[in-house]
Amino acid sequence: MDLLQTIWAGTVPYDTAWNWQKELVAMLSETAVSSPHHLLLLEHPPTYTLGRRGTLDHLLLDEAQLKANNFTLRWVDRGGDITYHGPGQLVGYPILNLKRIFAGRGYERPDLHLYLRDLEEVIIQALAGFNIQGWRYKGYTGVWVDSPRGPEKIAAIGIRVNTKGISSHGFALNVQPNLGHFRHIIPCGIQEHGVTSMSQVRERPFTITDLIPPILTAFHNIFNLKIEYEEAETQPSFSSEPSVAKNKQP
């Protein structure tokens, strides 16, 4: 069983985490087939990111308003349109060798559509432990829930996979973010449906770390990976060898 090295890094600036992803992707692209996979779990300060299909038409703030509200804006190399990251949202960046994972399932090459469905299933299984029924919405990537206002997105997903089959970027699960920050964009370019959070659905507070155990259990079940979990002692340096506390079971 392959190893998934996981770190909970707390609140991390977007650029810092993006650089860490790039370092881990490069390392996994060049190392032996037995090297471990990685999962970075963290929060970001308020940040809007536009993917390869993004358009500034879906950002409803100008540069001065972004600065006045301390929002960061970044164009990134994942798929998808515009999304928001901020406190109260669990962000997960799986850095996986998908060639190895899918070879273990009998595939000749990675199936990226199936990988997206797998990430959705991770979120769906994690939500189920809190009596929240997440589901897939045909034609849209991500995880949705029913609400009195109709279907609303509770988790966004956007990925990149390089020519070596190494994944980056990943998912953003709305645990208890400021949902007002989503009103400054047209999330993922979807105008006809809203965005929600776990705390809004269940009408009670949650913490980000409440979600770590069920997320890791789902990764183990879906990807057949052995989980190694660590927490940052202090703000990690985000090199290939971050400073971490001793191993813990979430």
Active site residues: 188
Sign of CA dihedral 137, 77, 105, 124: negative
Alpha-carbon distance of 123 to 142, in angstroms, equals: 9
Q: Which of 128, 136, 172, 157 is nearest to 14 (CA)?
A: 172
- Type of residue found at 119: L
The distance in angstroms from the start CA to the end CA of the chain is 19
Angle 127-75-47 from CA coordinates, rounded to 5°: 50
Surface-to-core class of residue 87, CB atoms within 10 Å of its CB (0-12 exposed, 13-18 middle, 19+ buried): middle
Q: Which two tokens stand for residue 11?
A: 């609140």
The answer to whether 228 and 248 are in contact (CB under 8 A) is no
Q: Which two tokens stand for residue 48?
A: 């809007």
Contacts of 119 (CB under 8 A, 6+ apart): 94, 157, 159, 170, 171
In this structure, what DSSP letter does residue 59 have? B
- Type of residue found at 160: R
